[in-house]
Amino acid sequence: MKVAVVGATGMVGEVMLKVLAERNFPVTELIPVASERSVGKLIDYKDKQYPVVGLSTAISMKPDIALFSAGGDTSLEWAPKFAEAGVTVIDNSSAWRMDRSKQLVVPEINASNLSNDDKIIANPNCSTIQMVLALAPLHKKYKIKRIVVSTYQSISGTGVKAVKQLENEMAGIKGEMAYPYPIHKNALPHCDVFEENGYTKEEMKLVRETQKILNDNTIAVTATAVRIPTSGGHSEAINVEFENDFDLKEVRTLLHHTDGITLQDNIDVNLYPMPIYANGKDDVFVGRLRRDGSQPNSLNLWVVSDNLRKGAATNTIQIAEYLVKQNLV
């Protein structure tokens, strides 16, 4: 199994390599791929070193799978070229997510939609993945009418430049700014760029991707995405209105038995999800479950996940694992 990691020197690419090793993905040959300025750099993987190559060279090496995390423009240009060469691409950018001809996959929810014909597969946005993983079993049981979600997102979702900005501000150093304002001791209600409707792209991803993954365009979603000065892990306050009433004990049981979910919901001992728990882990953590007394059939919950792992690298590799298991590559 030849595996190319496109964007291997980036933040998510580095985590992809780590997760591939941790999960013992059947890599017989690793092909780290990055921009021309990184070509020749050596990447460590499982006690061996592999030289970084460019995109054209990577295609000529005929990988079976290419894991893309190099930005939307790169994906739009190069994913089709890899696919034409017979490579199955799993793309972590936003480039293909809303393309009707491409599958948008969270393996625990809809991997069964995949077939041999899917040569470019889209990985959802990090904030969407953790939300839909928590809500999918509840939607199946009670049918979701409306979701109101507020996110509290780590600077690592923006990238290395944002991490450096926070580090500089904490140290009192003036440096390059990833955000239009300081992030240290601050909260910015501004994730990604603003669209014409006044919402950010990040907020609209939560709307559009949720409907596509859950295969239900009747679900109403409204979102506010906020950047906070945490170094790893996104948190979400979610209010869900169902068509049918629910029992809280049954909700807890459903979540407890959902693959990829860890239930942390015991306020008697102050047990609830936090980024400090989720950091470096693959599960999505759910807690603070409580009925919304202001609205019929409505539930509040708090959902936290490591945005670089389940929100990006791990979900991508889980898709690849499914493809291998089903002999689709």
Catalytic residue among 126, 139, 184, 191: 126
Q: Is 132 exposed, middle or buried (0-12, 13-18, 19+ CB in 10 A)?
A: buried
**Which helix or strand (DSSP H or E) is residue 140 part of?**
helix 126-142
Is 108 within 8 Å of 259 (Cβ atoms)? yes
In this structure, which CATH number among 3.40.50.720, 3.40.50.300, 1.10.10.10, 2.60.40.420 belongs to the domain 2-124+312-325? 3.40.50.720
Mean per-residue pLDDT over the chain, rounded: 97
| Residue among 110, 76, 73, 83 nearest 4 (CA) | 83
What pLDDT is stored for residue 224 in this prediction? Answer: 98
Mean pLDDT along residues 44-55: 96
Looking up tokens 């996104």 gives 234
For the chain, what percent of residues have pLDDT higher than 70?
100
Mean pLDDT along residues 3-11: 96
What pLDDT is stored for residue 275 in this prediction? Answer: 97
| Residue 234 is a catalytic residue | yes
What pLDDT is stored for residue 311 in this prediction? Answer: 97
| Residue among 131, 313, 315, 284 nearest 221 (CA) | 131
| Residue 191 is a catalytic residue | no
Cα 204 from Cα 116, distance rounded (Å): 30
pLDDT tens figures, 135-154: 999 999 999 999 999 999 99
pLDDT tens figures, 159-193: 999 999 999 999 999 999 999 999 999 999 999 99
Look up the pTM and report it: 0.96
* Domain layout of the chain by residue ranges: 2-124+312-325, 127-307
Which are the contacts of 231, defined by CB distance < 8 A and separation ≥ 6? 154, 155, 156, 163, 166, 279
* Fold entry, domain 127-307: Dihydrodipicolinate Reductase; domain 2 (3.30.360)
What pLDDT is stored for residue 276 in this prediction? Answer: 96
| Residue among 32, 24, 40 nearest 61 (CA) | 32
Supply 96's token pair. Answer: 């293909």
Catalytic residue among 139, 191, 234, 257: 234
Supply 270's token pair. Answer: 């102050």
